[in-house]
Chain A
Amino acid sequence: DADVTQTPRNRITKTGKRIMLECSQTKGHDRMYWYRQDPGLGLQLIYYSFDVKDINKGEISDGYSVSRQAQAKFSLSLESAIPNQTALYFCATSDLSGTGENIQYFGAGTRLSVL
């Protein structure tokens, strides 16, 4: 969904390097999420944020940190990248519609390789 933009789209880095993945959205949603997807597997939730002051750990938060700089921006950092963090990373947003559906809208993903 073009309303959720992830940068960069592809990144190759070395073990031990710090890296930041950025996500911005123009949907005006309060909720933002970071997921990781390994080849052939489903998505695993890393962190989620219900608003600027609310950040929560997901299933696999170890080795990651996040920053919610504004309603529209949610960044994911790997403080010291390791090879098993090589994966496809997705940012998503959601909000409660009038009918309360809480549908998640995903960005195009960032493919990260840690050598």
Chain B
Amino acid sequence: LAKTTQPISMDSYEGQEVNITCSHNNIATNDYITWYQQFPSQGPRFIIQGYKTKVTNEVASLFIPADRKSSTLSLPRVSLSDTAVYYCLVGERRTNAGKSTFGDGTTLTVKP
């Protein structure tokens, strides 16, 4: 079971790019990296998933180096509404349940 380590909290300002790094030193060959966003008193929401190199969607980018021992979620030009907790999960895609955990996440606070 791949353990993940993220910073507990980060601060940013509106309009800035935010990069949140997750360490997963014992990631397995079949593991994928998935990021979720959670607002207070709401369920987490999927942001992005990747296996290697770079993945981009309309919300964020995910950078994964060749050794895959870490990954970086990049949020371009954040706004106040991006204030949330961000979770990094590592697990095998087809049997993800029970083999990956949410951890405590990174609390991102965006200031005006």
Contacts and interface: CB of A to CB of B under 8 A. Distances in A.
A42 B101 contact: yes
Given A33-B97, A45-B97, A48-B98, A109 B104 contact: no
B43 A92 contact: yes
B97 A42 contact: no
B42 A109 contact: yes
B105 A42 contact: yes
Interface stretch (A12-20, A64-72, A73-81, A96-104): A96-104
A56 to B, nearest CB: 6
B45 interface: yes
Q: Among A90, A102, A105, which residue has the most Cβ atoms of chain B within 10 A?
A: A102
Interface in B27-70: 34, 36, 41-46, 49
Interface string A34-54: 010000111111001010000
Contacts of A62: none
* Size bin of chain A's contact surface: 20 to 34
A56 B46 contact: no
A102 B42 contact: no
A55 to B, nearest CB: 11
Contacts of A100: 93-94
Contacts of B104: 40-42
Given A58-B98, A92-B43, 17 more contacts: A1-B43, A33-B97, A40-B104, A43-B44, A43-B101, A45-B98, A88-B41, A94-B96, A94-B97, A101-B49, A102-B94, A104-B44, A105-B46, A107-B43, A108-B43, A109-B41, A111-B41
Interface of A: 1, 4, 31, 33, 35, 40-45, 48, 50, 56, 58-59, 88, 90, 92, 94, 96, 100-109, 111
29 contacts: A1-B43, A41-B104, A42-B101, A42-B102, A42-B103, A42-B104, A42-B105, A44-B101, A45-B97, A45-B101, A48-B97, A48-B98, A58-B97, A58-B98, A88-B41, A90-B43, A90-B44, A94-B96, A101-B49, A101-B93, A102-B96, A103-B34, A104-B36, A104-B44, A104-B96, A106-B42, A108-B42, A108-B43, A109-B42
